[in-house]
Amino acid sequence: MLVVAAIGGNALLQRGQALTAENQRVNVTVAAHALARIVQAGHQLVITHGNGPQIGLLALEGAAYDPTQIYPLDVLGAKTDGMIGYIIEQELENALDHERAVATLLTQIVVDAEDPAFQNPTKFIGPVYDREEAETLARAAGWSIAQDGDKWRRVVPSPAPQEIPDIRVIKLLLDQDVIVICGGGGGIPVLRRPDGSLIGIEAVIDKDAASGLLARELGADALLLLTDVDAVYRDFGTENQTRIASLTPDEAFALDLPAGSMGPKMLAAAMFAAYGGLAGIGRLDQATDILDGHAGTLVNPIAQDAEG
Protein backbone atom coordinates (compact mmCIF):
# COMPACT_ATOMS: atom_id res chain seq x y z
CA MET A 1 0.00 0.00 0.00
CA LEU A 2 1.28 3.48 -0.88
CA VAL A 3 0.64 5.84 2.04
CA VAL A 4 0.96 9.64 2.01
CA ALA A 5 1.35 10.80 5.62
CA ALA A 6 0.96 14.52 6.37
CA ILE A 7 2.35 15.37 9.78
CA GLY A 8 1.11 18.52 11.48
CA GLY A 9 3.19 21.28 12.95
CA ASN A 10 2.84 19.74 16.42
CA ALA A 11 5.11 16.92 15.26
CA LEU A 12 7.87 19.50 14.92
CA LEU A 13 6.99 22.02 17.59
CA GLN A 14 4.30 21.84 20.26
CA ARG A 15 2.29 24.98 20.85
CA GLY A 16 4.08 27.26 23.28
CA GLN A 17 7.48 25.60 22.84
CA ALA A 18 10.51 27.71 21.98
CA LEU A 19 11.47 27.39 18.31
CA THR A 20 14.89 25.85 18.95
CA ALA A 21 16.72 23.20 16.95
CA GLU A 22 16.84 21.01 20.07
CA ASN A 23 13.06 21.09 20.62
CA GLN A 24 12.40 20.30 16.99
CA ARG A 25 14.88 17.42 17.03
CA VAL A 26 13.23 15.88 20.11
CA ASN A 27 9.75 16.11 18.58
CA VAL A 28 10.86 14.79 15.20
CA THR A 29 12.53 11.80 16.85
CA VAL A 30 9.17 10.82 18.36
CA ALA A 31 7.44 11.38 15.01
CA ALA A 32 10.05 9.34 13.14
CA HIS A 33 9.39 6.25 15.25
CA ALA A 34 5.66 6.51 14.51
CA LEU A 35 6.36 6.91 10.78
CA ALA A 36 8.82 4.01 10.87
CA ARG A 37 6.03 1.71 12.04
CA ILE A 38 4.13 2.43 8.80
CA VAL A 39 7.16 1.26 6.81
CA GLN A 40 7.73 -1.73 9.09
CA ALA A 41 4.10 -2.76 8.47
CA GLY A 42 5.06 -3.22 4.81
CA HIS A 43 3.83 0.03 3.25
CA GLN A 44 5.51 2.47 0.89
CA LEU A 45 5.64 5.93 2.45
CA VAL A 46 5.61 9.55 1.29
CA ILE A 47 5.84 12.19 4.04
CA THR A 48 4.71 15.81 3.99
CA HIS A 49 4.97 18.28 6.85
CA GLY A 50 4.08 21.75 8.06
CA ASN A 51 6.47 24.70 8.34
CA GLY A 52 4.43 27.63 9.71
CA PRO A 53 6.54 28.54 12.76
CA GLN A 54 9.82 27.97 10.91
CA ILE A 55 9.01 30.13 7.89
CA GLY A 56 7.78 32.88 10.19
CA LEU A 57 11.02 32.79 12.17
CA LEU A 58 13.14 33.05 9.00
CA ALA A 59 11.04 36.02 7.87
CA LEU A 60 11.68 37.73 11.22
CA GLU A 61 15.41 37.03 11.00
CA GLY A 62 15.50 38.50 7.50
CA ALA A 63 13.62 41.59 8.60
CA ALA A 64 16.04 42.09 11.51
CA TYR A 65 18.98 41.89 9.12
CA ASP A 66 17.61 44.34 6.53
CA PRO A 67 13.86 45.14 6.39
CA THR A 68 14.28 46.42 2.82
CA GLN A 69 15.71 43.12 1.57
CA ILE A 70 13.37 40.47 3.01
CA TYR A 71 13.51 37.16 1.18
CA PRO A 72 10.23 36.20 -0.54
CA LEU A 73 8.07 33.47 0.98
CA ASP A 74 8.82 30.93 -1.77
CA VAL A 75 12.55 31.15 -1.00
CA LEU A 76 11.91 30.99 2.74
CA GLY A 77 9.68 27.96 2.15
CA ALA A 78 12.49 26.22 0.29
CA LYS A 79 14.87 26.96 3.17
CA THR A 80 12.51 25.50 5.76
CA ASP A 81 11.85 22.43 3.60
CA GLY A 82 15.55 21.70 3.51
CA MET A 83 16.00 22.29 7.23
CA ILE A 84 12.98 20.27 8.37
CA GLY A 85 13.45 17.58 5.73
CA TYR A 86 17.01 17.04 6.90
CA ILE A 87 15.93 16.40 10.49
CA ILE A 88 13.04 14.09 9.51
CA GLU A 89 15.24 12.22 7.03
CA GLN A 90 18.00 11.64 9.53
CA GLU A 91 15.75 10.59 12.41
CA LEU A 92 13.70 8.28 10.18
CA GLU A 93 16.88 6.63 8.91
CA ASN A 94 17.93 6.15 12.53
CA ALA A 95 14.53 4.71 13.48
CA LEU A 96 14.77 2.23 10.59
CA ASP A 97 18.39 1.27 11.42
CA HIS A 98 19.44 2.65 8.02
CA GLU A 99 17.81 -0.30 6.25
CA ARG A 100 15.81 1.91 3.87
CA ALA A 101 16.77 4.81 1.64
CA VAL A 102 15.16 8.16 2.54
CA ALA A 103 15.28 11.30 0.39
CA THR A 104 14.05 14.87 0.82
CA LEU A 105 12.83 16.70 -2.30
CA LEU A 106 12.21 20.44 -2.57
CA THR A 107 8.79 20.43 -4.23
CA GLN A 108 7.37 23.19 -6.42
CA ILE A 109 3.59 23.47 -6.61
CA VAL A 110 1.82 25.61 -9.20
CA VAL A 111 -0.91 28.02 -8.08
CA ASP A 112 -3.20 30.35 -10.02
CA ALA A 113 -2.24 34.03 -10.07
CA GLU A 114 -5.97 34.89 -10.16
CA ASP A 115 -6.76 32.88 -7.01
CA PRO A 116 -8.88 35.12 -4.72
CA ALA A 117 -6.67 34.10 -1.78
CA PHE A 118 -4.17 36.73 -2.88
CA GLN A 119 -6.74 39.38 -1.96
CA ASN A 120 -7.63 37.74 1.37
CA PRO A 121 -4.62 36.53 3.41
CA THR A 122 -5.68 33.83 5.90
CA LYS A 123 -2.75 31.43 6.39
CA PHE A 124 -1.05 31.72 9.79
CA ILE A 125 2.74 31.70 9.84
CA GLY A 126 5.31 32.46 12.50
CA PRO A 127 5.09 32.73 16.28
CA VAL A 128 2.16 34.03 18.31
CA TYR A 129 2.08 37.53 19.82
CA ASP A 130 0.01 39.68 22.13
CA ARG A 131 -2.22 42.01 20.09
CA GLU A 132 -0.20 45.15 20.78
CA GLU A 133 3.08 43.50 19.77
CA ALA A 134 1.49 42.00 16.63
CA GLU A 135 0.10 45.37 15.58
CA THR A 136 3.48 47.04 16.09
CA LEU A 137 5.22 44.42 13.94
CA ALA A 138 2.50 44.62 11.30
CA ARG A 139 2.89 48.38 10.98
CA ALA A 140 6.68 48.10 10.71
CA ALA A 141 6.78 45.23 8.23
CA GLY A 142 3.54 45.77 6.29
CA TRP A 143 2.06 42.48 7.48
CA SER A 144 -1.53 41.35 7.65
CA ILE A 145 -2.38 39.88 11.07
CA ALA A 146 -5.30 37.94 12.54
CA GLN A 147 -6.36 36.48 15.87
CA ASP A 148 -5.33 32.88 16.58
CA GLY A 149 -7.04 31.75 19.78
CA ASP A 150 -6.17 34.31 22.44
CA LYS A 151 -3.06 35.45 20.53
CA TRP A 152 -2.29 37.12 17.21
CA ARG A 153 -0.18 35.99 14.25
CA ARG A 154 0.89 37.06 10.79
CA VAL A 155 -1.35 35.85 7.93
CA VAL A 156 -0.38 35.45 4.26
CA PRO A 157 -2.19 34.37 1.07
CA SER A 158 -2.97 30.65 0.78
CA PRO A 159 -3.91 29.84 -2.83
CA ALA A 160 -5.18 26.39 -3.82
CA PRO A 161 -2.58 23.99 -5.24
CA GLN A 162 -3.13 23.22 -8.93
CA GLU A 163 -0.25 21.09 -10.18
CA ILE A 164 2.93 19.39 -8.94
CA PRO A 165 5.62 19.69 -11.64
CA ASP A 166 8.01 17.54 -9.59
CA ILE A 167 5.61 14.57 -9.44
CA ARG A 168 7.68 12.63 -11.96
CA VAL A 169 10.75 12.87 -9.71
CA ILE A 170 8.74 11.59 -6.73
CA LYS A 171 7.51 8.66 -8.82
CA LEU A 172 11.07 7.82 -9.91
CA LEU A 173 12.15 7.69 -6.26
CA LEU A 174 9.18 5.52 -5.29
CA ASP A 175 10.00 3.14 -8.16
CA GLN A 176 13.35 2.63 -6.43
CA ASP A 177 11.62 1.93 -3.09
CA VAL A 178 12.84 5.22 -1.57
CA ILE A 179 10.89 6.83 1.29
CA VAL A 180 10.20 10.36 0.07
CA ILE A 181 9.85 13.54 2.14
CA CYS A 182 8.32 16.21 -0.09
CA GLY A 183 5.75 18.98 -0.33
CA GLY A 184 6.98 20.49 2.92
CA GLY A 185 4.83 23.36 4.16
CA GLY A 186 2.40 22.77 1.29
CA GLY A 187 5.21 22.95 -1.27
CA ILE A 188 7.04 25.92 -2.77
CA PRO A 189 4.41 28.15 -4.43
CA VAL A 190 5.14 28.98 -8.06
CA LEU A 191 3.32 30.44 -11.06
CA ARG A 192 3.52 29.04 -14.58
CA ARG A 193 4.30 31.77 -17.09
CA PRO A 194 2.77 31.84 -20.60
CA ASP A 195 5.99 30.35 -22.03
CA GLY A 196 5.78 27.42 -19.56
CA SER A 197 8.57 28.58 -17.26
CA LEU A 198 8.07 28.76 -13.49
CA ILE A 199 8.58 31.64 -11.05
CA GLY A 200 8.06 31.84 -7.29
CA ILE A 201 5.17 33.78 -5.72
CA GLU A 202 4.58 35.32 -2.28
CA ALA A 203 2.25 32.78 -0.66
CA VAL A 204 2.04 29.71 1.56
CA ILE A 205 -0.03 26.74 0.34
CA ASP A 206 -2.16 24.80 2.83
CA LYS A 207 -0.30 21.60 3.73
CA ASP A 208 -3.41 19.43 3.85
CA ALA A 209 -4.66 20.61 0.44
CA ALA A 210 -1.23 20.03 -1.10
CA SER A 211 -0.97 16.60 0.55
CA GLY A 212 -4.34 15.62 -0.86
CA LEU A 213 -3.33 16.71 -4.36
CA LEU A 214 -0.05 14.80 -4.00
CA ALA A 215 -1.86 11.64 -2.90
CA ARG A 216 -4.26 11.87 -5.84
CA GLU A 217 -1.53 12.50 -8.42
CA LEU A 218 0.51 9.58 -7.06
CA GLY A 219 -2.52 7.27 -7.06
CA ALA A 220 -1.86 6.56 -3.38
CA ASP A 221 -3.95 3.98 -1.53
CA ALA A 222 -4.19 5.99 1.70
CA LEU A 223 -3.85 9.56 2.91
CA LEU A 224 -3.15 10.08 6.61
CA LEU A 225 -3.59 13.56 8.08
CA LEU A 226 -1.80 13.21 11.41
CA THR A 227 -2.10 15.66 14.27
CA ASP A 228 -2.34 15.74 18.08
CA VAL A 229 -6.11 15.05 18.20
CA ASP A 230 -7.24 11.42 18.12
CA ALA A 231 -10.20 11.96 15.75
CA VAL A 232 -12.79 14.39 14.42
CA TYR A 233 -15.69 15.04 16.79
CA ARG A 234 -19.20 16.36 16.52
CA ASP A 235 -19.85 19.12 19.07
CA PHE A 236 -16.14 19.17 19.91
CA GLY A 237 -15.31 20.76 23.24
CA THR A 238 -18.76 20.22 24.72
CA GLU A 239 -20.08 17.53 27.07
CA ASN A 240 -21.94 16.10 24.06
CA GLN A 241 -18.89 15.63 21.86
CA THR A 242 -18.98 12.39 19.88
CA ARG A 243 -16.15 10.82 17.94
CA ILE A 244 -16.84 10.31 14.24
CA ALA A 245 -15.39 6.94 13.32
CA SER A 246 -16.28 6.81 9.62
CA LEU A 247 -17.85 8.98 6.91
CA THR A 248 -18.56 8.89 3.21
CA PRO A 249 -17.05 11.68 1.11
CA ASP A 250 -20.46 13.36 0.78
CA GLU A 251 -20.96 13.27 4.55
CA ALA A 252 -17.48 14.68 5.04
CA PHE A 253 -18.08 17.55 2.60
CA ALA A 254 -21.27 18.42 4.50
CA LEU A 255 -19.54 18.85 7.88
CA ASP A 256 -19.10 22.39 9.16
CA LEU A 257 -15.66 22.40 10.82
CA PRO A 258 -13.35 25.28 11.83
CA ALA A 259 -11.27 26.64 8.97
CA GLY A 260 -8.30 27.06 11.29
CA SER A 261 -8.11 23.44 12.44
CA MET A 262 -10.07 20.41 11.21
CA GLY A 263 -11.80 22.08 8.25
CA PRO A 264 -8.87 21.83 5.77
CA LYS A 265 -8.05 18.30 6.91
CA MET A 266 -11.59 17.05 6.40
CA LEU A 267 -11.83 18.75 2.99
CA ALA A 268 -8.56 17.15 1.86
CA ALA A 269 -9.70 13.76 3.21
CA ALA A 270 -13.07 14.01 1.47
CA MET A 271 -11.54 14.99 -1.88
CA PHE A 272 -9.07 12.11 -1.73
CA ALA A 273 -11.70 9.56 -0.68
CA ALA A 274 -13.95 10.74 -3.51
CA TYR A 275 -11.24 9.40 -5.83
CA GLY A 276 -11.58 5.98 -4.21
CA GLY A 277 -8.80 6.00 -1.62
CA LEU A 278 -8.85 5.69 2.16
CA ALA A 279 -8.34 8.90 4.14
CA GLY A 280 -7.74 9.01 7.87
CA ILE A 281 -7.44 11.79 10.43
CA GLY A 282 -5.99 11.16 13.86
CA ARG A 283 -2.99 11.08 16.14
CA LEU A 284 0.48 10.54 14.77
CA ASP A 285 1.26 7.79 17.27
CA GLN A 286 -1.84 5.88 16.09
CA ALA A 287 -0.98 6.01 12.37
CA THR A 288 -0.89 2.24 11.83
CA ASP A 289 -4.09 1.78 13.86
CA ILE A 290 -5.81 4.34 11.62
CA LEU A 291 -4.70 2.39 8.54
CA ASP A 292 -6.14 -0.76 10.11
CA GLY A 293 -9.45 1.00 10.85
CA HIS A 294 -9.09 0.86 14.62
CA ALA A 295 -8.50 4.54 15.39
CA GLY A 296 -9.04 8.05 14.11
CA THR A 297 -11.73 9.21 11.71
CA LEU A 298 -11.87 7.44 8.35
CA VAL A 299 -13.35 8.79 5.13
CA ASN A 300 -14.39 5.94 2.83
CA PRO A 301 -16.58 5.68 -0.26
CA ILE A 302 -18.91 3.69 2.02
CA ALA A 303 -18.96 4.58 5.73
CA GLN A 304 -19.27 2.06 8.55
CA ASP A 305 -19.76 2.65 12.27
CA ALA A 306 -20.46 6.32 11.59
CA GLU A 307 -20.04 7.41 15.21
CA GLY A 308 -18.52 5.83 18.25
User: Which residues are known to be catalytic?
Assistant: 9-10, 123, 207, 265
Four-residue CA torsion sign, 175, 206, 251, 291 = positive
In Å, the largest CA–CA distance within the chain is 57
In Å, what is the CA distance from 215 to each residue of 201, 221, 259, 273, 276?
23, 8, 21, 10, 11
Helix (H, G, I), strand (E, B) or coil at 37: helix
Contact call for residues 48 and 10 (beta carbons, < 8 A): no
* Alpha-carbon torsion (91, 204, 151, 233), positive or negative: negative
Residues 6+ apart with CB under 8 A from 146: 122, 124, 152, 153, 155
